[in-house]
Amino acid sequence: MLTYVIRRLLLMVPTMLGITAVVFFVMALSPGGVAGTQLSAEGELDTQQMAALRAYYNARYGLDQPLIHQYGRWLNQISPLGWRQALDDQGLPQYTGFGFKVPDLGNSFSRNRPVLDLYGEALPVTLLLNAITVPIVWVIAVLSGVYAARFRGKWFDVATGTGLLALWSIPVIWAGVLLIGFLANEQWLRLFPTGGLNSTMAGGMAFMPSFAEDGTWQRGWLLDRLWHLVLPVVCLVYGSFAVLSKLMRASVLETISAEYVRTARAKGVPGKRVLWGHAFRNALLPLITVAAGIIPGLLGGSLIVEKIFSIDGMGKLTLDAIFARDRDLVLAGALISGVITLVCILIADLCYAIADPRVSYD
């Protein structure tokens, strides 16, 4: 098992190289280059200052070097094994020697902060959104899929099939706009906040709901957070059932007519237990792999939702970085989402081996 995991982890390296290379070269080949926005944003500077700034960027990030060289520099920077560099008193990097070092995701052009710090703040937000979304999606998809298979061809099957397909077809941008427009707007209903994850005064709230000394009710930090999460989570959740539910249904249909299910019935196992203990237990196996496959979709989905509800998560950070052509930030975004996806796929494969006694990686 361990050798298998190590082998898989090593196989991730070329994939990650590919991912970052694709993103890097797309950015580098675009007209204006990576620092384009940054340079034009400093429009007030006179020519001399401009030239100095450009010289600094070139020296700092090697922007005047060939692309492959720039990419090599970036790889060296993020690699745990490579040439150490230190900034000299002018803020320019100097190589000090070869060996193990702390990987460095670089610095954000546009925010002038370490990329790692920025993602360190943004990643938990996105993970929180998905941590709430994924269980809801799974519970509803599994229930609807299993019962759709159980009542194949009946109204429940047809209704969930069409209904979930319709939900899946609703563009998230539309749902977001409608929810904000009708439920979070003074013109109609002001039930929910328009965006963000907390009210501005949330910092001063108690964690749990409580009554203040003067007897007024305070909703507290936790409830405030949940209140802000309702609409984004709705947006993330509603469209994700269809695919999983459909797969679940197909998988259960496959197992429900399997011979071991007939054997179980012939033993006198009650119907519910046949369905959940025998048919569903086996039907779940192919879905373990699928579970990891939807991770990129969820990350993409939270990008849209974070944008619409102005939540400062990883998606919004990446989006802002793309708009600002912030090279290191964009590359780190691709790197992190790639690693998350690949690790999830690996975990799913390991779970599969645990769930299916026929599979072993030894």
Partner 1 sequence: MTDSTRSEQASPPSEANGALVGRAERVALHETMPRRPRSYLGGVALRTLGRTGAAIGGVWLGLVAALAVFAPLIASSFPLVMKSADGTLSSPWLEYLRPMDVALPVLVGLALVLIFGFRCTSVGKKLLVFAVATGVVVGGSYLLVSPPAIATYDTYRVGLEAGDIEWAVHTPIAFSPSDRLRDRPKSQPAPPSWTHPLGTTRNNADLASRMIHACRIALAVGFIATGIAVVIGVAVGGLMGYFSRAVDLLGMRLVEIFEAIPQLYLLLTFVAFFPRNQYTLYFIMVIIGLVSWTGYARFTRAEFLKLRQQDFVVATKALGLPLRSTLFKHMLPNGVAPVLVTASFGIASAILAEAFLSFIGLGLVDEPSWGQLLSQAVGGGGTFVWWIAIFPGLAIFLTVFAYNLIGESLRDAIDPHTQKASQA
Partner 2 sequence: MTDTHSERATAAATVSDSAGGGASGTATQPLLRIEHLRVSFPSASPGGRRVQAADGVSMTVFPKQTLAVVGESGSGKSVSALSCLQLIPMPPGRQDEGKILWKEDGAVEPVDLTAFSERDMRRIRGNQIAMIFQEPMTSLNPVYTVGDQIREAILLHRDVTQEQATEIAVQALKDVGIADPYARLKSYPHQASGGMRQRFMIAMALACEPRLLLADEPTTALDVTIQAQILELLRHLQREKDMAVMLITHDLGVVAENADVVAVMFAGRVIEVTDVATLFADPLHPYTRGLLASMPVLGRKQGRLPGVMDGATIPDDLPDGYTVKPHDPMLNPPGGYGGPNAKLHEVRENHWLLCEREGDTPDTPGAVPALAFTRG
Please provide residue 97's backbone torsions phi and psi, each rounded to the nearest 5 degrees: 155, 170
Q: How far apart are CA 261 and CA 150, in angstroms?
A: 13
* Region from 141-149, 206-214, 264-272, 296-304 binding partner 2, contact rule CB under 8 A: 264-272
Q: Which of 55, 159, 166, 206 binds partner 1 (CB under 8 A)?
A: 166
Residue 342 touches partner 1, criterion: CB under 8 A: yes
Kindly state whether residue 264 participates in binding partner 2, applying the rule CB under 8 A: yes
- Which residue, 99 or 171, has its beta carbon nearer to partner 1? 171
Which of the listed partners (partner 1, partner 2, none) does 307 bind, with a CB threshold of 5 to 8 Å by partner kind? partner 1
In this structure, which amino acid lies at residue 134? V
Which residues in 251-270 contact partner 1 (CB under 8 A)? 253-254
Strand-pair category, 210-211 with 217-218? antiparallel
Q: Does 362 bind partner 2 (CB under 8 A)?
A: no
Measured torsion, CA atoms of residues 43, 49, 51, 54, in degrees rounded to the nearest 10: -70
b/e map 302-317, b = 16+ CB within 10 Å: bbbbbbbbebbbbbbb
For residue 234, CA distances in Å to 135, 230, 238, 279, 295 come to 13, 6, 6, 30, 17
Question: Which one of residues 150, 278, 307, 325 is an interface residue with partner 2 (CB under 8 A)?
Answer: 278
Comparing CB distances to partner 1, the nearer of 24 and 221 is: 24
Which region among 50-58, 125-133, 169-177, 260-268 touches partner 1 (by CB under 8 A)?
Answer: 169-177
* Most distant CA atoms of the chain, gap in Å: 88
Helices (H) and strands (E) in the chain, counts: 15, 4
**Footprint of partner 2 (CB under 8 A):** 257-271, 278, 281-282, 285, 355-358
**Footprint of partner 1 (CB under 8 A):** 14-15, 18-19, 22-23, 26-27, 30-32, 152-153, 161-162, 165-166, 168-174, 177-178, 180-182, 185-188, 194, 250, 253-254, 296-297, 299-300, 303-304, 307, 318-319, 322-323, 325, 330, 333-334, 337-338, 341-342
